[in-house]
Structure 1
Amino acid sequence: MDYKKLIEKRNKPGDFATDIGVKILEIREGYACGELLIKKVHINPINAVHGGVIFTFADMVGASSTAFCENRVATLNGTINFLNAAIGVEKLIAEASVIKHGKNTMVVNVNITDEKETFVASTTFTYYILKKMKITFEDEN
């Protein structure tokens, strides 16, 4: 697996994740890390990062952690515990770890912190493995 090319593909402009500001920083076997630089569009009426933004961010980084075995996945279920309001933060960091890799599903924990390492949210996602397939990159034939 060429993780460098996979990260480039995940950060390709024009995709939903990149359009909302998600940047994948690292992918390795069973792990992914990403960041989200907070902009005004991410903020809700109480001046906190909107919970839907945090959930989407966690899902995107969580799915990236499953790519090490060339799986394509779809989210079956996700739960989130909001631990602290993300008010006045400049960025969020997500770290995702695969905790179960089954035949048909993968379970991933994702922890979200701010730039001061304050825990913002803890999430668990279950992904359905659509199929194992070679991940290709646009510059390859």
Structure 2
Amino acid sequence: MIGKVGEFMRRRDRLFDLLGAELVKVSEGHAKVEMEVKEEHLNAADVCHGGVIFTLADLAFAVASNSHGKISLALEVSITYMKTASAGERIFAEAKEVNSGRRTATYLIEVRNSKNELLALAKGTVFRLDRELPL
């Protein structure tokens, strides 16, 4: 089922295509997504826009939280930025479930570059609906 969930999320979440992001890994409560920073992802300071980094983290968070097969929607997400990324760099977001209850679950999401340097750290909480993903 996890493979079906990953394929469903990859196919249905349009931001994957918008960012040029790839789903690298998915398992129960865990997901890894990567992308290459392109010119169109840069802000006025010529570094990767924080919104792009946040969106990559959010994609990993979405896949990880929906990996159980139930529709899960974000209640809150916060992010702290540590380093910048430049055009041409590959960046990765990895979400890991740290707590799972009956209705809510919490995830930590790390965004790193190809040198394994931490670019951003996010935390997110989801609410799980009683509905299964329409796989």
Decide: shared fold, TM above 0.5. yes
Quick one: distance in 2 between partners of 1:65 and 1:132?
A: 17
Runs of 4+ in 1 over 6 A off after TM superposition: none
- Aligned-pair CA distance for 1:88: 4.7
- Alignment-derived partner of residue 82 in structure 1: 81
Aligned 8 A contact 2:38 2:87 in 1: no
User: How far apart are the structure 1 equivalents of 2:60 and 2:112?
Assistant: 13
Q: Output aligned runs, 1:22-61, within 5 Å.
A: 22-61=21-60
Tell me the residue number matched to 1:117: 116
Evaluate the alpha carbon distance shift between residue 91 and residue 135 of structure 1 in structure 2; reply closer, same or farther with a 3 A threshold: same
Task: Say if 1:35 and 1:93, in contact at 8 Å, map to a contact too.
Answer: yes
Question: In structure 1, what is the equivalent of residue 107 of structure 2?
Answer: 108
What's the counterpart of residue 128 of structure 2? 129
Contact 1:13 1:19 in 2 (8 A): no
Structure 2: distance between partners of 1:109 and 1:89: 26
Percentage of matched positions with identical amino acids: 25
**Residue of structure 2 equivalent to 1:139:** none
Is the Cα–Cα contact under 8 Å of residues 82 and 119 in structure 2 kept in the other structure?
yes
Q: How far has the Cα of 1:130 moved from its partner?
A: 2.1
Is 2:39–2:87's contact at 8 Å kept on the other side of the alignment?
Answer: no
Aligned length: 135
Distance change (3 Å), C-alpha of 1:21 and 1:131: farther
CA-to-aligned-CA distance 1:22-66 (integer Å, 9 cap, x gap): 211111011111101111111111111100111111011011112
Q: Alpha carbon RMSD of aligned pairs, Å?
A: 1.8
Structure 1 residues 134, 56: CA separation in 2 closer, same or farther (over 3 Å shift)? Answer: closer
Unaligned 5+ runs, structure 1: 137-141
Q: Give, in whole Å, the separation in 2 of the partners of 1:37 and 1:88.
A: 8
Change (3 A) 1:14 1:57: closer
CA distance, structure 2, for counterparts of residue 43 and residue 13 of structure 1: 25
- In the alignment, the residues of structure 2 paired with residue 14 and residue 112 of structure 1 have an alpha-carbon distance, to the nearest angstrom, of 19
Partner of 1:10: 9
Aligned residues of 1:38 and 1:91 also touching (Cα < 8 A)? yes
